[in-house]
Structure 1
Amino acid sequence: ELPQRAKCNNTYQGSGPTYRDKCRPFCPAVLRDHEMEEFLKREYSLSKPYQGVGSSGSSHWELMGDAMVTTEQVRLTPDMQSRQGAVWSRMPCHLKDWEMQVHFKIHGQGKKNLNGDGLAIWYTKERMQKGPVFGNMDNFTGLGVFVDTYPNEEKHIEAQKKRYTPRTQRIFPFVLAMVGNGTISYDHERDGRPTELGGCNAMVRNLKHDTFLFIRYIRRRLTVMIDIDGQHEWRDCLDIPGVRLPQGYYFGASAITGDLSDNHDIISLKLYQLTVLRSPKEEQEESEDEITIPSVDNMDLLRMGDTEEGMSGIAIFFTVLFSMLGCIFLIVIGLVVYSHWNESRRKRFY
């Protein structure tokens, strides 16, 4: 059963025939003074009984690598070392506004910090390309939302203490989002920090209840929420305006294991078309500003925040030291200037 309530100030009653009687996530801050309708798009959705997936050319979804279909899930990777798998939509999506609800499960025999590596949900120009980014290619073009279960950068305790304070230190698993334009590489050593749009911690491994990920793209605003506590309530993860994603890209999900492993399962991917009322002026502005390359309007500000977060203790020490020396230097100069001025003033009276 899908989560029925959002962690917002209100809820939205779905108008589509499939979910007419269910409350759906709705944040008035995102869609203030605008009407919205939603419709389940089955051609872009993946759910039980997964008819034809991986074996029929008529299926809308295609398997890659070590992924396999069972009666209960699409298993992207088994709990074995050095595996990677994916499932990709065969049809490009030309929807302007949409939301994806992901029902997933990550579980395995490994204990805390002895599991890996995580899974990803994609909306990209490329499809069916193996690679190191959670089983997909690096330098991708489009959107990736990652459920990262292994702390590559923070695995060394000493390095962690030097770089991060308790406020900025992350708890894994961690959910984050990234937009790529075909030239931006995902930084494994830093767990994607330099290019992330934002994220949140999400303790999703080996849970007995269902876990969900919610991705909404509407009015060039990207919202990600999670429901992992078994309360059927969405929890905010990130909300970024100014995200520009072209139409005609492909949805997919992938996962990878290395020396450490987990079962990475997709139970369902459900895509909803969002129909939003726009004024003629808005329609004209959007048609004139056609998006051809994925980008984020405020990415420079996000990177500045990452730089500040990643400042090491040594860098902070020298910054404070040089700031103090600069202040002392200015005080000395001020005293010298004042002394000369005072001496000149006294001479005028003799």
Structure 2
Amino acid sequence: MYFITIISFVCIIFINLTFEQGPGSFEVREHSLSRPYANVFATSHSYWQLTGNTLVTDRYIRLTSDAQSKAGGLWNTVPVSYSDWEMHVSFKVHGGGTTLFGDGFVIWYVRDPKLTGTYKTYLKSPVFGYADNFNGLAIIMDTYSNRIDNYNHIYPYISTGTKDYSPVFGYADHFNGLAIIMDTYSNRIDNYNHIYPYISAVINNGSLHYDHDRDGADLNIAGCEAAFRGRDIDTLVAIRYQNNRLTVSTDIDGENTWKECFSIDNIQLPTYYYFGFSAATGELSDNHDIISVHTYQLDLSEQRQKEDRKNIIPSAPSAHMGQIDDDTAKTSKWSTLKIFLLVLLLIILCLSGIGAFYYMKQHRYHSSRLY
């Protein structure tokens, strides 16, 4: 027991020394978490709270075990008062499934931490054990595609087609026979051409619905493929928010270096939101473990220090909010325009008919008077 504790302590020091924060940052104890966990949850004034089926051992905090219909969470009870921060999370996702497993977990920065309720309450929550229409940021560590069309391959991609494939690369539509299609580009309007596991970011101001059956594809502002499941080495993710720029990086290959997943400018996040983690299993399951959390406050520029960010509404650039919404909106506008033009045409035809009828009636009246 003591040997494991000493080894864990050495590993944590090694990770902190390896991934240097550089000048202008320091770790915030209230928003960090590491072994031994007994010291973290020993008092009623703990900075972290467990919810649902979450359990604690001397080696990990398990949000869900590898069993069906489980849901759990780990929530920080202290709001984040500083605007720029960086979080390093050591985690492990693993289980007995080789081809079917899921669903993943989420790292949250939200207005409302989910501190109460039974595991059944969390299980009914549609976004990995958390509520829909949330306010804040979700970094989704997704391991399974819920899309009903199972469109989870990347390009180039070889497929077969037998009929009703339109258009067919310079050949006739509705052909008879077999086609082996050597496709190099996805023409899907949502550009949904990634494989799982997949890391994505979602910003919500409380008004947007997360479609679980589409893996939130219409809300994702950025993402990358990351094979973090089932690794025998430490897997880490870093989330950095500084000067309205959100950057997510990973170290899942044991190289002790960060590899950028994505980086987006013009992300608006308020202060005094809460960090948290949640996961839920359905018919598929996995172990979702949090090993450690290290959160750093970053130095601010003079202009940044003067900003009052407490009442900022979470937002992301509209260009990153998903092409599905844009195309749907265009289709909706075009449909409305067509209906309007059709109604206008019918009105014109009716008025023309009435006018023609009145003209013919008057013409017959004047003609009868001449005789």
TM interval, shorter chain, is 0.7 to 0.9
Shift of 1:157: 5.8
Whether the 8 Å contact between 1:51 and 1:59 is mirrored in structure 2 is no
Normalised to the residue count of structure 2, the TM-score between the two structures is: 0.69
Bigger shift: residues 123-132 or 175-184: 123-132
Matched residue of 2:37: which SS? coil
After superposition, where does 1:162-311 map in structure 2 within 5 Å?
A: 164=186, 168-276=192-300, 278-279=301-302, 281=303, 283-284=305-306, 286-287=307-308, 291-296=311-316, 298=317, 300-303=318-321, 305=323
CA RMSD of aligned residues (A): 3.1
Shift of 1:146: 0.6
What amino acid is the match of 1:94?
S
Shift of 1:48: 0.4
Normalised to the residue count of structure 1, the TM-score between the two structures is: 0.72
**CA–CA distance in structure 2, aligned partners of residues 292 and 238 of structure 1:** 23
**CA–CA distance in structure 1, aligned partners of residues 294 and 18 of structure 2:** 15
**CA–CA distance in structure 2, aligned partners of residues 51 and 3 of structure 1:** 19
Bigger shift: residues 50-59 or 199-208: 50-59
Matched residue of 2:213: which SS? coil
Matched residue of 2:35: which SS? coil
Whether the 8 Å contact between 2:66 and 2:95 is mirrored in structure 1 is yes
Pick the aligned partner of 1:49 from 27, 36, 42. 36
Whether the 8 Å contact between 1:46 and 1:268 is mirrored in structure 2 is yes
What amino acid is the match of 2:276?
G
Pick the aligned partner of 1:128 from 107, 114, 123. 114
**CA–CA distance in structure 2, aligned partners of residues 197 and 221 of structure 1:** 13
Match of 1:33 in 2: none
**CA–CA distance in structure 2, aligned partners of residues 251 and 304 of structure 1:** 25
Note closer, same or farther for the CA distance 1:56–1:165 as it changes in structure 2 (3 Å cut). Answer: farther
Match of 1:24 in 2: 20
**CA–CA distance in structure 2, aligned partners of residues 102 and 271 of structure 1:** 9
Pick the aligned partner of 1:116 from 102, 108, 121. 102
User: For each residue in 1:254-300, what CA deviation from the matched residue of structure 2 results, as whole angstroms up to 9, or x when unmatched?
Assistant: 11111000000000111011113x24x5544x34x76421112x2x2
Shift of 1:230: 1.3
Asked if 1:64 is matched to 2:51, the reply is yes
Matched residue of 2:196: which SS? coil
Identity of aligned residues (%): 40
**CA–CA distance in structure 2, aligned partners of residues 158 and 226 of structure 1:** 21
Shift of 1:51: 2.7
Structure 1: unaligned runs, 5 residues or longer: 6-18, 27-35, 316-350
- Higher relative helix content: 2
**CA–CA distance in structure 1, aligned partners of residues 201 and 244 of structure 2:** 15
**CA–CA distance in structure 1, aligned partners of residues 41 and 14 of structure 2:** 31
**CA–CA distance in structure 2, aligned partners of residues 217 and 265 of structure 1:** 24
After superposition, where does 1:144-159 map in structure 2 within 5 Å?
A: 144-153=138-147, 156=150
**CA–CA distance in structure 1, aligned partners of residues 255 and 18 of structure 2:** 16
Structure 2: unaligned runs, 5 residues or longer: 1-10, 116-121, 160-164, 166-184, 332-371
Matched residue of 2:277: which SS? strand
